[in-house]
């Protein structure tokens, strides 16, 4: 079977969708031509673009009348009705015959073999053209999700500064902190080599918290890395800084353009005056004025833009307008600017502009070590006094206790716990699953200080009840309380405490399902990062003295 015989990548739809008379009533040659264009441009991904493209070429009145009159639109979302009709239409009319099939390639980043249609539609959209799908889903997911809190543990301040310089050098931009949050960030560069490098940088980017902890702010990180060396401060228009050639720029995009002109040796005059006017442009290059219109959308600002256009036309000036959206596609914008200025970038050597990076520490964030092993694990007198005996695991006191009759149950020994001992499976008069499903739980990061401690203690009591129920009924424990507590500790970057929660969840025997898989995956990542589970850090136990032997 050849690639063209394999149709597994085609959408599975009933051809009956193509007989929808309500759509056929207004469907015409223009709509079929649009389907043809989408298939040529997006290949097997074209269904995701059908609804928007068809609506764009169809009058609002016609589209509104169809949505109102078609019974299918009363049962299903109209855009899905239109999408499935479009696929069935393309298939029954033979338009899909021109579709090129997905290829099996080696991922340019990890070299793993993959087939292009294995990359999800949302990921493919971020890659841009179908021809850019040259990376496997795993590499794309890592890049678009970005670095994690555990990756931060591997990054020294010096490594972060190196990373910032690498991003700035590769893209030619002074990167904003949310650069990689923009879905089109790959359009800042061109060519497979540069895209592969940028994906790698995206995958290992530090989190915003790590940047703040190390440098105080993104602006300071840029300055310390030497990307934004001197004279930078915030203004109403953005970050004011001094470009490599000494020009004062009022925003980071302005600084990027000014440094680009310098890097390619293009003579440029800063803030040239428009003839017969008090207006000034951003740069004059030859007979052109380049403007970065960063506040477009403001009515007064837009009025001034129009006046500048009229002045430029009246005096024969080539006005080159650059907008914030163009800076998000800086790779293509550089080519477009060069074309407008009549220069060939390939024929010019790009100079490396001087920077003044500061010397930084190569020390990575400290990862607390496990305490030394104490007395042998076993049952000892409960140091909290809540029960007869408590299990000591060799380093910490645990939630497992024995009562006087020899029954085992869970009782988390968090500091100053004074509620009655709960031998059962209920929490505040409800089964734990019922309690958790009916309680509005706070978002991770919202409770802080004493409020967070109180919330975690509630989750510890839920864990006790869940474990008591599982021990009584012989079922696996449900992950809800563990995931809730671990999520708050993860947000607080309390990795040792989070690890203790997850380790407890796995030790108690989680039931099957996605929750167990997610907890296992996260625990494996924490282990790989070298983090030791510490129930004291989690708040599950206090610094009780070890047992006497």
The answer to whether position 266 is within a domain reads yes
- Whether 141 and 158 share a structural domain: no
Q: Does a structural domain hold residue 370? A: no
How many Å apart are CA 375 and CA 549, to the nearest integer?
Answer: 7
Q: Which pLDDT does position 236 carry in this prediction?
A: 60
Same domain, 182 and 238: yes
Please report the pLDDT score of residue 137 as a whole number: 94
The neighbour count for residue 42, using CB atoms within 10 Å, is 20
Domain total of the chain: 4
188 with 305, same domain: the answer is: yes
Judge whether 136 and 112 are in contact, CB under 8 Å.
yes
> Which pLDDT score is estimated for 183?
82
Looking at residue 256, its pLDDT comes to 92
Say whether both 406 and 337 belong to one domain.
no
Residue 235's pLDDT is 63
Of 348-357, 398-407, 423-432, minimum mean pLDDT range: 348-357
Residues 301 and 405 occupy one common structural domain: no
Q: What is the DSSP string of 432-492?
A: HHHHHHHS-PPPTTSS-HHHHHHHHHHHHHHHHHHHHHHHHH-PPBPSHHHHHHHHHHHHT
Q: What pLDDT, on a 0 to 100 scale, did the predictor assign at position 1?
A: 30
Closest by Cα among 481, 489, 508 to 391: 508
The verdict on residue 163 lying in a domain is yes
In a domain, 299, yes or no: yes
Structure tokens at 84: 């499935």
Per the DSSP assignment, residues forming a β-bridge with 397 are 392
Measured from the Cβ of residue 337, the count of other Cβ atoms closer than 10 Å reads: 23
Q: Does residue 466 sit in the same domain as residue 430?
A: yes
- Which residue, chain included where needed, has tokens 């449900």? 478
- Please tell me the least confidently modeled range out of 159-173, 335-349, 426-440: 426-440
Establish if 172 belongs to a structural domain.
yes
On whether both 175 and 59 belong to a single domain, the answer is no
> pLDDT averaged over the chain?
90
Q: Is the pLDDT assigned to residue 164 strictly greater than 80?
A: yes
**Confidence category of residue 428, pLDDT binned at 50, 70, 90:** confident
The residue out of 297, 331, 347 marking a domain boundary is 347
pLDDT at position 355: 66
292 membership: H or E segment, kind and range:
strand 288-292
Q: Is 284 domain-assigned? A: yes
301: its two tokens? 């600002």
Query: Kind of pairing, strands 239-242 and 233-234?
Result: antiparallel
> What are the structure tokens assigned to 270, written together?
């800063």
Distance CA 479, CA 463 (A): 9
Q: Are residues 26 and 117 in the same domain?
A: no
| Span 209-214, average pLDDT | 87
Which has more pLDDT, 161 or 355?
161
DSSP string, 186-231: GGGS-SHHHHHHHHHHHHTPPPHHHHHHHHSSHHHHHHHHTSS-SS
Give 445's pLDDT tier (boundaries 50, 70, 90): confident
Same domain as 460, residue 428: yes
pLDDT at 184 over 80: yes
Is 369 within a domain? no
pLDDT band at 439 (very low <50, low <70, confident <90, very high): confident
Quote the radius of gyration of the chain (alpha carbons, Å).
Answer: 31
Give pLDDT tens digits for 218-245.
Answer: 887 888 888 876 656 666 666 777 788 8
Domain end call among 65, 98, 131: 98
Burial of 165 (C-beta count, 10 Å sphere; 0-12/13-18/19+): middle
Q: Are residues 293 and 337 in the same domain?
A: yes
Answer whether residue 24 is part of any domain. Answer: yes
Closest CA to 542 of 367, 399, 372: 399
- Among 63, 98, 133, where does a domain finish? 98
Same-domain status, 263 and 340? yes
Q: Which domain holds residue 119?
A: 104-145
Tens digits of per-residue pLDDT, 49-66?
A: 999 999 999 999 999 999
Residue 34 sits in the same domain as residue 119: no
3-class DSSP assignment, residue 252: helix
């Amino acid at each position: 079977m050849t690639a063209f015989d394999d149709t597994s990548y085609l959408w599975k739809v009933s051809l009956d969708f193509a007989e929808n008379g309500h759509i056929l009533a207004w469907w015409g040659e223009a709509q079929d031509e649009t389907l043809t264009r989408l298939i040529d441009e997006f290949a097997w991904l074209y269904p995701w673009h059908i609804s928007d493209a068809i609506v764009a070429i169809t009058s609002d009145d016609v589209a509104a009348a169809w949505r109102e009159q078609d019974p299918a639109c009363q049962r299903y979302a109209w855009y899905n009705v239109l999408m499935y009709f479009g696929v069935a239409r393309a298939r029954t009319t033979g338009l899909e015959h021109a579709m090129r099939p997905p290829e099996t390639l080696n991922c340019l980043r990890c070299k793993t073999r993959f087939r292009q249609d294995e990359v999800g539609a949302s990921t493919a959209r971020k890659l841009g053209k179908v021809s850019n799908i040259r990376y496997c889903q795993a590499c794309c997911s890592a890049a678009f999700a970005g670095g994690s809190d555990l990756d931060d543990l591997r990054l020294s301040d010096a490594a972060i500064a190196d990373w910032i310089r690498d991003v700035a050098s590769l893209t030619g931009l002074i990167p904003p902190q949310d650069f990689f949050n923009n879905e089109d960030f790959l359009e800042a560069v061109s060519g497979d080599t540069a895209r592969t490098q940028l994906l790698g940088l995206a995958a290992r980017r530090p989190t915003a918290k790590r940047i703040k902890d190390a440098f105080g702010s993104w602006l300071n990180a840029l300055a310390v890395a030497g990307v934004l060396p001197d004279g930078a401060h915030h203004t109403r228009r953005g970050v004011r800084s001094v470009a490599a050639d000494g020009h004062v720029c009022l925003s980071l995009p302005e600084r990027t353009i000014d440094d680009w002109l310098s890097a390619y040796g293009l003579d440029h005059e800063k803030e040239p005056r428009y003839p017969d006017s008090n207006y000034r442009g951003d740069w004059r290059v030859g007979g052109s004025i380049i403007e970065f219109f960063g506040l477009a959308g403001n009515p007064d600002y837009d009025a001034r833009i129009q006046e500048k256009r009229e002045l430029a036309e009246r005096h024969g000036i080539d006005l080159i307008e650059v907008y914030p959206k163009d800076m998000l596609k800086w790779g293509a914008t550089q080519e477009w600017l060069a074309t407008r200025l009549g220069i060939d970038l390939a024929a010019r050597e790009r100079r490396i502009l001087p920077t003044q990076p500061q010397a930084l520490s190569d020390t990575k964030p400290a990862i607390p070590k496990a305490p030394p092993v104490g007395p042998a694990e076993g049952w000892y007198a409960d140091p909290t006094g809540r029960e007869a005996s408590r299990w000591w695991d060799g380093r910490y006191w645990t939630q497992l206790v024995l009562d006087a009759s020899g029954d085992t149950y869970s009782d988390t020994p968090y500091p100053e716990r004074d509620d009655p001992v709960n031998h059962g499976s209920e929490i505040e008069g409800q089964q734990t699953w019922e309690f958790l499903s009916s309680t509005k739980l706070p978002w991770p990061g919202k409770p802080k200080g004493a409020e967070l401690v109180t919330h975690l203690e509630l989750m510890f009591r839920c864990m006790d009840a869940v474990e008591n129920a599982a021990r009584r009924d012989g079922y696996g424990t449900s992950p809800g309380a563990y995931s809730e507590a671990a999520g708050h500790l993860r947000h607080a970057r309390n990795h040792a405490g989070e690890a203790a929660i997850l380790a407890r969840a796995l030790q108690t025997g989680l039931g099957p399902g996605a929750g167990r898989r997610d907890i296992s995956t996260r625990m494996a990542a924490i282990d790989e990062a070298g983090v030791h589970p510490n129930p004291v850090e989690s708040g599950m136990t206090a610094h009780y003295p070890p047992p006497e032997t």
